Amino acid sequence: MENILRPIYQEKASHADTLAIIMIEKTNQTSPLTDNLDIALLVIVKEAEQSLFVKHYEYESKKASLTVMTEEELNEVILLGTNRRIVDWVLNGKVLFDRNEYIVKLIDRLRTFPFTERKLKIGIEYSKLIRRYLEGKVFFESNQLLDAYNYIVHALHHLARLEVIDRGYYPEVTLWNQVKQIEPQVYKLYNELVISDETIEKRLELLFLASDFLIHSKTEVGAAHILTIMSEKEYWHYNELLHHPELKYYAVDLSVLLEYLVEKNYVSIERIETKGKGIYHRAYFVQEKY
């Protein structure tokens, strides 16, 4: 079907805004990587009027998709990990067009994982870890065991991704194969949660006992990004943090992370008087070491 699609991607390649075109072929009967279509084409452009444009094609018994995304959208997907399939396409797809070695440079960036990007990504994963873990704990304490189990599985995924990123690697779709080699302790926690013969209640109980210390021990690594930013000013109002160009990526998880850091004495509170009697603005600051 590649021959049938050639006029389509050649037309895209002729546009000055097109940076790269990648093709991914279905290799198994069931292929979530291509949404069970035979071929997926990814076109990366500098700018586009419409965000994430997708079109489906059919020829005889074959099916294909064409996805057009901007460079900015791609970078956000890579940063936030919201669509690891796209990263898989970039790393393992067949490059049909590559203007000025855009894909070559992008793959090199993914392989080397620059420290500044790594630090931000670790912070995002840590904030998600804290939220999922605390929510799981609440469900466990209210005896909602299946919901607790679900949240803790998600929390462990964020912990695993944090460990992989901290070692300088980009988390792959086969995450637990990476973690098994990189951080056996986290792999063991996950294994015991999903495979153990114990009851769900007992599995969760044991995991909470082991995880409290482990998550706290990761605070300096996980919170290094936000603490470094906060050290730039004497104190911050929450809205200032929320709209910071880098901290905005923490989204809804920023508040729960901040409260966790207050609880663990990494962040302190400055109370600022308002016009209302006994009501104070809450401002946040960190110690000088950051």
The answer to whether residues 12 and 46 belong to one domain is yes
> Distance between CA 178 and CA 146 in Å, rounded?
27
The answer to whether residues 158 and 194 belong to one domain is yes
CATH number at residue 85: 3.30.460.10
CATH number at residue 171: 1.20.120.330
pLDDT band at 234 (very low <50, low <70, confident <90, very high): very high
> Distance between CA 70 and CA 76 in Å, rounded?
10
Asked if residue 227 has pLDDT above 80, the reply is: yes
- Report pLDDT for 95: 95
Tell me what percent of the residues of the chain surpass a pLDDT of 70: 98
Asked if residue 288 has pLDDT above 70, the reply is: no
CATH number at residue 234: 1.10.10.10
Which of 195, 222, 249 is where one domain is finished? 222
Dihedral sign (CA 141, 147, 151, 157): positive
> Distance between CA 226 and CA 161 in Å, rounded?
18
Task: State the number of CA atoms in the 13 A half-sphere of 145 facing the CB.
Answer: 9
Number of residues assigned to the chain: 290
The answer to whether residues 184 and 99 belong to one domain is no
pLDDT band at 34 (very low <50, low <70, confident <90, very high): confident
- More reliable by pLDDT, 290 or 228: 228
Asked if residue 112 has pLDDT above 70, the reply is: yes
pLDDT band at 172 (very low <50, low <70, confident <90, very high): confident
- Report pLDDT for 170: 84
Determine phi and psi for 30, rounding to 5 degrees: -105, 120
Mean pLDDT, the chain, rounded, equals: 90
The answer to whether residues 102 and 6 belong to one domain is yes
pLDDT band at 133 (very low <50, low <70, confident <90, very high): very high
- Report pLDDT for 2: 67
Which of 173, 175, 178 shows the shortest CA–CA distance to 31?
Answer: 173
- Report pLDDT for 162: 95
Q: 């990587």: which residue's tokens?
A: 33
Give the global pTM: 0.85
E strands along 71-152, which residues? 94-98
Both tokens of residue 216?
Answer: 């706290």
Both tokens of residue 252?
Answer: 């809804």
Find how far residue 195's CA is from the centre of its chain: 25
- More reliable by pLDDT, 121 or 111: 121
The answer to whether residues 129 and 71 belong to one domain is no
Asked if residue 204 has pLDDT above 90, the reply is: yes
Average of per-residue pLDDT across 28-49: 85
Both tokens of residue 183?
Answer: 């951080």
Average of per-residue pLDDT across 177-202: 92
- More reliable by pLDDT, 268 or 6: 268
Asked if residue 290 has pLDDT above 60, the reply is: no
Which of 74, 97, 112 is where one domain is finished? 112
Asked if residue 199 has pLDDT above 70, the reply is: yes
The answer to whether residues 131 and 144 belong to one domain is yes
- Report pLDDT for 127: 96
Domain of residue 230, residue span? 223-290
Which of 222, 252, 281 is where one domain is finished? 222
The answer to whether residues 16 and 82 belong to one domain is yes
Tally of domains within the chain: 3
The answer to whether residues 106 and 12 belong to one domain is yes
The answer to whether residues 18 and 55 belong to one domain is yes
8 Å CB contact between 284 and 267: yes
The answer to whether residues 218 and 230 belong to one domain is no
- Report pLDDT for 1: 64
Question: Would you list the DSSP string of 220-276?
Answer: HHHTHHHHHHHTTSS-EEHHHHHTSTTGGGGGGGHHHHHHHHHHTTSEEEEEEE-SS
Question: Would you list the DSSP string of 14-82?
Answer: TSTTEEEEEEEE--SSS-GGGTT-SEEEEEEES--SSSSEEEEEEETTEEEEEEEEEHHHHHHHHHHTS
The answer to whether residues 141 and 207 belong to one domain is yes
State the angle between helix axes of 254-263 and 115-141 in degrees (0 to 180), rounded to the nearest 10. 80
pLDDT tens readout for residues 8-23: 888 888 999 999 999 9
The answer to whether residues 24 and 84 belong to one domain is yes
State the angle between helix axes of 102-112 and 84-92 in degrees (0 to 180), rounded to the nearest 10. 120
